[in-house]
Amino acid sequence: MIRIGLPAHLRTLARVAGEVELDLTGAVTTRQLLDALEEAYPALRGTIRDQVSFERRPFVRFYACEEDLSHDSPDAVLPETVLNGSEPFWIIGAIAGGA
Amino acid sequence: MSQVRVLVGTRKGAFILSADGKRKNWEVRGPFFGGWEMYHLKGSPADPNRIYASQSSGWFGQLIQRSDDGGESWNPVGNKFAYDGVAGTHKWYDGTPHPWEFKRVWHLEPSLTDPDTVYAGVEDAAMFKTTDGGQTWAELPGLRGHGSGPNWQPGAGGLGLHTIVLDRANPGRIYIAISAAGAFRSDDDGASWKPINRGLRSNYIPDPEAETGHCVHRIAMHPSRPQTLFMQKHWDVLRTDDCGESWREVSGNLPTDFGFVVDVNSNEPETIYVVPIKSDSEHYPMDGQLRVYRSRTGGDEWEALSKGLPKNNCYVNVLRESMAVDQMDPCGVYFGTTGGQVYASPDGGESWSAIVHDLPAVLSVEAQTLP
């Protein structure tokens, strides 16, 4: 079981409260996690990564285990504590000011 | 008695304002999609309870929302806007080639006859179409591909396709406008396009009378006069009486002919409205007075309408999608400001009052007339 923390706007969009849990096992990568998340919650397609290039959106960041994983390869296996569900994988809207 | 529903898109959510035919007492619902930029909402003429909304943010990109019950509930539909084939380049602000990049949907125009068919105008400028209620979108590539596309340059607000006008009398005829490429017409439901900018003069571009490159802000048409269109260009108000083949300036006695909006009275095809803005460097009304100008002669001769509008210290703007008319008699006219006011006139512009005062900056206003 993998736990995912979503920013407030995406929780509203996905119509979930609190963390999302995905029943994934084994050596899961960020790409596989996002594939499963979008499969479970189609409304999130395009909000975290581009639907054509699959690039992470610029103002979206990935964190886990107090580390910024945003620039890791999407095919890198997630940290063990994320895989075993003891820590969530955080999807964060960057604190970027704006109007 | 008929009802009016005004759909308002703002920088931080959408609002729905409803009133009976008197248009005096308004119910305000919202915010819907709070915190998101709502560039445009529009209902289907064929099924007014079917409403489409463009929802976007700098963080999470573009979404399209659809309501089948007049805005009571919403569901996200398809949001994949992929350019057809190799996207290619347009010109950047400095004249260098720049890849076409999808940024947002500026305008949603539902078909006049089919609630599941909608046209979308996007930035970077292109036209998309859905025929399945928004689940999937496909580009109409003939617009970007008609020849001048590689030379289009963005206006200050981006390279946005913001105006889509469908012609009820001539199915398949579509008018669009792009900042800052100009106006275009299709006679075959978007398969092929031609620029329709003859008569436009823009002194701020290298060739003031170029075929494309004009910063058209808005086009409006009365359904009973499909050959006549009115245009608010960056500077200048113009009209055409031959489906865009030629335009002539009708700014007449306007105090300034810079502005963004233009619309046509639903009962009087030669009665038109604009909101003059002081200049393109100041973006607020003249002398701190918010005034709508009305011409009952299809242009050239204009009168100021100010009853109920701020008479001093008003420095808001009225953006290009932010004026609409209803189908009542007398015609109701509505406009929203960057200061968050939505003004309504139930008497064709004679008098105005604010339905709401303190919304986020208004990006778009559309009016629906319901049985």
B146 secondary structure, DSSP code: G
pLDDT tens digits, residue range B67-94?
A: 999 999 999 999 999 999 988 999 999 9
Model-level pTM?
A: 0.97
CA distance B266 to chain A (A): 36
| B177 Cβ contact partners less than 8 Å away, ≥ 6 residues apart | B161, B162, B163, B183, B184, B216, B217, B218, B219, B231
Measured CA to CA, the distance from residue B104 to residue B91 in angstroms comes to: 18
Measured CA to CA, the distance from residue A36 to residue B131 in angstroms comes to: 28
% of chain A with per-residue pLDDT over 70: 97
- Give me the residue spans of the domains in chain A: 2-93
CB of B62 less than 8 A from some CB of A:
yes
- Tell me what pLDDT residue B204 has: 83
- Give me the residue spans of the domains in chain B: 35-315
CB of B87 less than 8 A from some CB of A:
no
- Give the domain B35-315 fold: Methylamine Dehydrogenase; Chain H (2.130.10)
pLDDT tens digits, residue range B108-123?
A: 999 999 999 999 999 9
Does the beta-carbon distance from B63 to A13 stay under 8 Å? Answer: yes
DSSP strands (E only) in chain A? 2-5, 20-22, 60-64, 67-68, 89-93
pLDDT tens digits, residue range A34-65?
A: 999 999 999 999 999 999 899 999 999 999 99
Does the beta-carbon distance from B57 to A52 stay under 8 Å? Answer: no
Q: Is B23 exposed, middle or buried (0-12, 13-18, 19+ CB in 10 A)?
A: buried
Q: Nearest CB to A59: which of B11, B35, B59?
A: B59
**Shortest CA distance to B247 belongs to which of B255, B34, B262?**
B262
CB atoms within 10 A of CB A18: 9
- Tell me what pLDDT residue A99 has: 65
Residue of A nearest to B74 (CA): A13
Q: Nearest CB to A60: which of B59, B76, B79?
A: B59
Measured CA to CA, the distance from residue B360 to residue A97 in angstroms comes to: 17
- Tell me what pLDDT residue B301 has: 98
**Shortest CA distance to B136 belongs to which of B214, B57, B207, B78?**
B78
- Whether the Cβ atoms of residue B270 and residue B297 lie closer than 8 Å to each other: yes
Please state the ipTM of this predicted complex. 0.95
CATH class of the domain defined by A2-93: alpha beta
CB of A45 less than 8 A from some CB of B:
yes
User: What angle (nearest 5°) sits at the alpha carbon of residue B29, between those of residues B27 and B33?
Assistant: 165
Q: Nearest CB to B80: which of A51, A93, A99?
A: A51
Q: Find residue B259's DSSP bridge partners.
A: B276
- Tell me what pLDDT residue A44 has: 98
pLDDT tens digits, residue range B157-212?
A: 899 999 999 999 999 999 999 999 999 999 999 999 999 999 999 988 888 999 99
Scanning A14-33 for CB atoms below 8 A from B yields: none
Measured CA to CA, the distance from residue B171 to residue B165 in angstroms comes to: 11
What average pLDDT does chain B have? 97
% of chain B with per-residue pLDDT over 70: 100
- Whether the Cβ atoms of residue B106 and residue B160 lie closer than 8 Å to each other: yes
Q: State the best of A16, A34, A59, A91 to mutate against chain B, taking most chain B CBs within 10 Å.
A: A59
CA distance B129 to chain A (A): 18
pLDDT tens digits, residue range A24-35?
A: 999 999 999 999
